[in-house]
Structure 1
């Protein structure tokens, strides 16, 4: 983002601090929460679906139910609890995204360190951070529940486990994008 912004600033009347401003806004509002969540839907969501789906195919879930264990709570609840830590991952990605933009701008010769930091501080709205973390919590619930649902309720054999993982990724990605749109409309306009 910082390099693209810098390369498109051809007018000398536009200040260089705009590079830091654009990087901050892009990373905090969209790139960190939304793009990382879609990547996690592909990596982690397909793992959740395939692991629970494999347990369904090999009748391990049926064995849990025969033993009197609530299999939904036993298999899915820990994934929801684990994803409560997901905002920390997004916080780290926000920091690294802005820091990477600073490195690219300063060492690429597009802006000085002072100009970039001024752009980061320019017109800062603290609610944007809260907005990003609200989105992250919603995305975390989607990342935990949709893949778990597709894995838990799948039918068939080993071939269907792969299909369930694909369907799970598609539905998780679509719901992340739709909920991103809805949350943006509700919280930022």
Structure 2
């Protein structure tokens, strides 16, 4: 009887062990790739032109979608917050509720998720196509470090773009809360912005930017790693592998963002 070497082992304990070893190997590969990308991001010579190009792609081309999401998020928060606070006679606290919710949590989280879906998927697909078309192998053959050439500028661009996009999201969301709470529901504009001024402190803003930087690293590293090693995926090679890598990049980035948000919030509270 001939045993197919590609068939999974029948023993469930063996399958569990094989899956555990694969998970540890993947985490190790991801950690090494991220460390190399960070090192090449700061090592000389700096790749200014590539970084600027990636900042335009990751940051500038995400401005419209972040502005729209921020506006409607603020409007929804203003509407829901007003009808919750009015039950306690505290509708004057609407500005504080909207601003703190956005600055501490929703701003960095929603910005990162939206950029992961727009730019992270593109990073994974682009690097995956370069891998299956042997462009990355060609860089190796020319003695050009592909991690330095491809991942480093994307890491730097994400670390620059995410805090700026988060700041824009926060401001537009507070304006959206003003449109709902002040223009539609009659909260005084002085009360709304005064509560924002009184309730938001530097630690809130700093915590939001720390989250944005961590999410930037997570999205860039996960997306680049998935595309860079698309050829090693067990589910398929070629176009199918690129598709799986792109899907995994978005899903894994979103899960990492939410898990990282919980960990960071527990430390920053």
TM-score (norm 2): 0.67
Partner of 2:192: 116
Partner of 2:211: 135
What secondary structure does 2:230 align onto?
Answer: coil
For the aligned residue pairs, the C-alpha RMSD in angstroms reads 1.3
Cα pair 1:34 1:176 within 8 Å, conserved: yes
Cα pair 2:125 2:246 within 8 Å, conserved: yes
The 5 Å alignment of 1:89-104 reads: 89-104=165-180
| Alignment gaps of 5+ in structure 2 | 1-76, 232-236
Cα pair 2:100 2:200 within 8 Å, conserved: no
Cα pair 1:6 1:110 within 8 Å, conserved: no
Q: Higher relative contact order by CA 8 Å / sep ≥ 6: 1 or 2?
A: 1
Partner of 1:44: 119
Question: 1:125, CA displacement in angstroms?
Answer: 2.5
Partner of 2:156: 81
What secondary structure does 1:17 align onto?
Answer: helix
Partner of 2:261: 180
TM-score (norm 1): 0.94
Cα pair 2:99 2:200 within 8 Å, conserved: no
The 5 Å alignment of 1:2-41 reads: 2-11=78-87, 14-41=89-116
**Equivalent residues, number:** 187
Cα pair 1:3 1:110 within 8 Å, conserved: no
Question: 1:124, CA displacement in angstroms?
Answer: 2.8
| Alignment gaps of 5+ in structure 1 | none
Question: 1:181, CA displacement in angstroms?
Answer: 0.5
